[in-house]
Amino acid sequence: MADTVTPQNSRSTAKRVMDNVGPPLVVLTVMLIVWEAACRWLDIAVYILPAPSDVFSAFAKHGGTLLYHTGITSMEAVSGFVIGSALGAILGTMFAYSRFLARGFLPFIIAANTIPVVAIAPIIIIWFGHGITSKIAVTAFLSFFPLALNMMKGLQSYDRVVMDVFYIAGASPMQRFFKMRLPNALPYVFVGLKLNVTFSVIGAIVAEFVQADRGLGFVIMTAYRSMGMPRLWAAMLLSALLGIVFFLIIALLERIFVPWHASMDERE
Amino acid sequence: MGSTVVMDDPAVQVEKLTLIYESNNQRVEALHNVDLTVDKGSFVSLIGPSGCGKSTLLRVLGDLLTPTSGQVLINRKTPREERLERRIGFVFQEPALLEWRSILANVMLPLELRGTPREERETRAHELMKIVGLTGFENAYPRQLSGGMRQRAAIARALSTRPDILLMDEPFGALDQITRDRLNMELLQIHEVTGITVVLVTHSIREAVLLSDRIMVMSPRPGRISRIITNDTPRPRTLESRNSEAFDALVREGNRELEKGCADG
């Protein structure tokens, strides 16, 4: 085994950022140019494939309303994510501490998890009404399982010898939970949260497909019916952007709260 | 050592200790009628082939296992009382550090769990870091350190509550020979300076002879102490102590006993 490992990388931060961001930027630029050129020269109909410039002018024309609908969908996704994750964390903790509860409930939870969200969304909307609440409920339903399962796994994955260390030190059950099992579970928790946050955008939009008078899902459906393809593309890109931003926020939180985990090491 | 010790006040007193557990519907007698006395401030090793119950015996002393019958006293109290008063230090084969805590925070852990005020536990932890030679690595994280350094941190952690007795379960088993020698010397020095009683489980007869006042050779099926070897070589000892005629004689005696135990089994 080597002696101490020096934590600092000699490469400068600016260069590392360029290494990560440079290549995708080049690919994106080339792709946009080819796409625009193809639409113009091959004379592709707008409803088949709008050119980037068409999508851009849709942004310019409907910017205000698109932003409003993005805000609605974000609100639904975030609320559903928070509620679903909180419920998942509580249930996962209960499962980790009670074999009876875990064995009793898990088969049903896993079965429920296989229900396609489009199948259950209408039912939830009937239960929770036509407002925003039902969209939040669908989102919460979808962003609940990953954290429940990962929380349970994380809380159970502690090292037996570390448990002995806490026993010798006369630790209370509360101390064992907060100073050992919970911090130890954090990498798993973030795996669950990253899945949840992606599902939450999907959940909100699917719920809006089923029934809504606002939100990105609503924009996509109305644009589809009126063949307003540039607007549809704009809404699609915004929903993708939403998912990416939420994911990055969780990844940032992970860097802050789990800097010690091996997966946080620089990838060579 | 032997002559200066007050014999009626031992650190460890084990009488007729038997521990039976069930494994696949079979009764296994891990320990059978074990008697053991460890004098205060002395260094005792438990050695023997796998399955002889040396780790089991150590875990009974640390209240990690409950015996089936017999009496166990540590400083005239039960292991449980001693443990709950934080008078037992235990070092395991793995360092078992918390990855998310700095080395200093790991060393402070038992004091933190006991509710020692922050300032006091930091002072104590810095003191311990110095004793085990980790000064300068307070803010490092466990995975940034070598195996030997991690085990040093584990030893410092075990000493943090100023225990009466230090129980060590093959603490150097996973280390290379050079690191192992160095940690042996550091352990001798800690024993010398603090006067703590040490019970060490090891696979290495040379390590046992080098460090101990007495070596308990154990044999399996059922686990028992088959011979006690006394090492009167004066302290402080160094790695050069291993080059003496007396050292070789003790190692030979130990090996002979170990081979006999294996043949019996």
Closest-CA residue of A relative to B145 is A4
Strand partners, B20: B29
Nearest to B9 by CA among B67, B62, B70, B73: B73
What is the model's pLDDT at position B63? 96
Say which residue the tokens 């589809």 belong to: A224
Asked whether A241 and A207 are in contact (CB, 8 A), the reply is: no
Residue extents of the structural domains in chain B:
45-66+76-87+163-264
d(CA A106, CA A95): 9
| CATH number attached to the domain at B45-66+76-87+163-264 | 3.40.50.300
What is the model's pLDDT at position B166? 97
Fold of A66-262: MetI-like fold (1.10.3720)
pLDDT over 90, % of chain A:
65
Cβ-based contacts of B143 with chain A (< 8 Å)? 5, 260, 262
What is the model's pLDDT at position B262? 63
What is the model's pLDDT at position A219? 93
What is the model's pLDDT at position A49? 87
Q: Is pLDDT above 70 for A3?
A: no
Select from A168, A190, A257 the residue whose CB has the most chain B CBs within 10 Å, as the one to mutate to test that interface.
A168
Residue B27: band (very low, low, confident or very high) from pLDDT cuts 50, 70, 90: confident
Closest-CA residue of A relative to B88 is A168
d(CA A61, CA A150): 44
d(CA B19, CA B222): 10
SS3 at position B53: coil
Closest-CA residue of A relative to B161 is A169
pLDDT in tens, B85-100: 999 999 999 999 999 9
Q: Do A170 and B143 touch (CB under 8 A)?
A: no
Strand partners, B64: none
Kindly state the tokens that stand for A23: 């290549």
pLDDT over 90, % of chain B:
77
pLDDT in tens, A114-141: 888 889 999 999 999 888 999 999 999 9
Q: For the residues B102-110, what does the mean pLDDT come to? A: 96
What is the model's pLDDT at position A157? 94
Cβ-based contacts of A179 with chain B (< 8 Å)? 98, 109, 112-113
Nearest to A245 by CA among A134, A65, A81: A81
d(CA A130, CA A141): 17
Mean pLDDT for all residues in chain B:
91
Q: Is pLDDT above 70 for B2?
A: no
Strand partners, B179: none
What is the model's pLDDT at position A89? 96
Q: For the residues A34-39, what does the mean pLDDT come to? A: 91
What is the model's pLDDT at position A81? 96
Q: Do A1 and B140 touch (CB under 8 A)?
A: no
pLDDT in tens, A241-261: 999 999 999 999 999 888 877
Kindly state the tokens that stand for B210: 């080098």
What is the model's pLDDT at position B113? 96
Q: Do A170 and B113 touch (CB under 8 A)?
A: yes
SS3 at position B64: coil
